[in-house]
Amino acid sequence: MSAHTGGTRERTAELRALREQVRRGPSEKATEAQHAKGKLTGRERIDLLLDPGSFREVEQLRRHRAVGFGLEAKKPYTDGVITGWGTVEGRTVFVYAHDFRIFGGALGEAHATKIHKIMDMAIAAGAPLVSLNDGAGARIQEGVSALAGYGGIFQRNTKASGVIPQISVMLGPCAGGAAYSPALTDFVFMVRETSQMFITGPDVVKAVTGEEITQNGLGGADVHAETSGVCHFAYDDEETCLAEVRYLLSMLPQNNRENPPPVESSDPDDRSGQALYDLVPADGNRSYDMRAVIEELVDDGEYLEIHERWATNIIVALARLDGHVVGVVANQPASLAGVLDIEASEKAARFVQMCDAFNIPLVTLLDVPGFLPGVHQEHGGIIRHGAKLLYAYCNATVPRVSVILRKAYGGAYIVMDSQSIGADLTYAWPTNEIAVMGAEGAAGVIFRRQIAEAADPEAMRERMVKEYRAELMHPYYAAERGLVDDVIDPAETRNVLIRSLSMLRGKHAELPHRKHGNPPQ
């Protein structure tokens, strides 16, 4: 800018004009090009995310100092990233948003320093951090300085992990090393068609492997929501996506020293759940949708399912009981009969860790026939992956209440927050079957010789199955041995959960002193 002249009023007017110019962005043409791709600008996104008028920008007038490759002639304000803080439903949230109109949102040294600063501020203030990602990776003209900027972001992501909620919203491309920052955060949101994440793009894939694939086919929202599990939430448009980010933030605490914010609930805590009698068939071989059970139990039937389309044989969700946030982990009999496999174990383990980090009590709903058998599962490491869920539950110090609706067989029963691994309270419905394995399999092992030698093996097998079921799988067997705290009327489950969690609200559990554990990988 030219040398300053005039008094304070003139200089202030000059400042306002400069700020307005920065807010408008590099040009109308660049804004139109962004809109033509079906994408909003960084500032439009921030306006949707934060409460109206609450955004306070930091380092708006920052510019890069790089030279070479024509950079010295192009030094836009903000350097392609908007950073600051505001509020969501009145609570402080820090945010940074790439501005694709400036250097394609590419990260240079000044750009990275701005992000580092806002991340440090979020950690110091103890408030969530939301990143609105729409950048073309490292700024090639700045060379290794840009790469070092990513290293600083990764280091801060790790430092903030389990301290403040970190949410990554993918609203454009995210390629190469840049994709590791979202992977380090607690939640990843994506928008279909306009956002992609991959380490190596389609051109490199084709050159190395000969495979031809589109950007969306390689790393689009649906791929990461259904196949890779990288994305927790996928939406059709940015407006819906950012509204859901706000909703998620309303369920999370500001940091790991606080509890999630409670709300007044108009749903009676003693509301009878008689619909549950018909929702869950007593016949263990019949399927049903566990989502209907969750809707019947939680306040107003509302819950936020996470990873809805990945590892669908297990459900993880945030909901409220009597106005207080809980994390729900539930087997899903409508998908693979609710068995645990590699992906379900990983999905549930990460969710349990997140809930434990942010003081969210856990409610576990069991109907699990075991771990998924098969060569692919064993060779894929079901032992170490299943152990992740076991480790997460054993390590969790938040209130933990589990309810056994129907089947709870073998190691899967133990892993799904059984009393033996530290559940505070364990309840069972009268339809529960807790056993090492199903009656048919157990009878075949125990009474193999008698069945083989019988005149009518099939009749003998049937008789032995009934005998095993009557002796070891009746609903009160576990209660008689203190392995469940009570067998409850399904219609009273909501009330029992609310009262149990109310009692456990003051729970305080200490883990042994250590630098950190060494969880299975």
Which run of H or E residues covers position 404?
strand 400-409
Q: Is 479 a catalytic residue?
A: no
Q: Which residues of 343-359 are buried (b: 16+ CB within 10 A; e: fewer)?
A: bbbbbbbbbbbbbbbbb
Question: In this structure, is the dihedral angle defined by the CA atoms of residues 179, 180, 183 and 184, taken in order, positive or negative?
Answer: negative
Tell me how far apart the 2 most distant CA atoms of the chain are, in Å: 111
For helices 42-49 and 238-251, give the axis angle rounded to 10 degrees. 40
Vertex 151: Cα angle to 145 and 154 (nearest 5) = 150
Which 3 state secondary structure label does DSSP give 343?
helix
List the catalytic residue out of 104, 176, 229, 380.
Answer: 176
List the catalytic residue out of 143, 411, 441, 444.
Answer: 411
User: How distant is the alpha carbon of residue 474 from its chain centre?
Assistant: 37
CA dist., res. 140 & res. 122, Å (int): 28
CA dist., res. 217 & res. 227, Å (int): 11
Q: Is 411 a catalytic residue?
A: yes
Cα distances (angstroms) measured from residue 7 to each of 2, 11, 14, 61, 460: 15, 6, 11, 21, 103
User: How distant is the alpha carbon of residue 380 from its chain centre?
Assistant: 23
List the catalytic residue out of 152, 177, 381, 444.
Answer: 177
CA dist., res. 427 & res. 370, Å (int): 19
Rg (CA), the chain: 27
Q: Is 176 a catalytic residue?
A: yes
Residue with token string 């090393």: 177
Q: Is 177 a catalytic residue?
A: yes
Question: Which residues on neighbouring strands pair with residue 169, listed in sequence order?
Answer: 132, 189
Which run of H or E residues covers position 112?
helix 109-125
**Which tokens go with 285?**
């071989």
Sorted by sequence, the CB contacts under 8 Å of residue 272 that are 6+ apart come out as: 491, 492
For helices 493-504 and 290-297, give the axis angle rounded to 10 degrees. 60
Beta strands in 295-398 (DSSP E): 303-306, 314-321, 324-331, 362-368
Residue with token string 């049937």: 462
**Which tokens go with 376?**
């692919």
Vertex 252: Cα angle to 248 and 255 (nearest 5) = 140
CA dist., res. 217 & res. 215, Å (int): 5
**Which tokens go with 364?**
């576990």
Question: In this structure, is the dihedral angle defined by the CA atoms of residues 505, 511, 515 and 518, taken in order, positive or negative?
Answer: negative
List the catalytic residue out of 160, 317, 412, 479.
Answer: 412
CA dist., res. 172 & res. 191, Å (int): 8
Could you list the active site residues?
176-177, 411-412
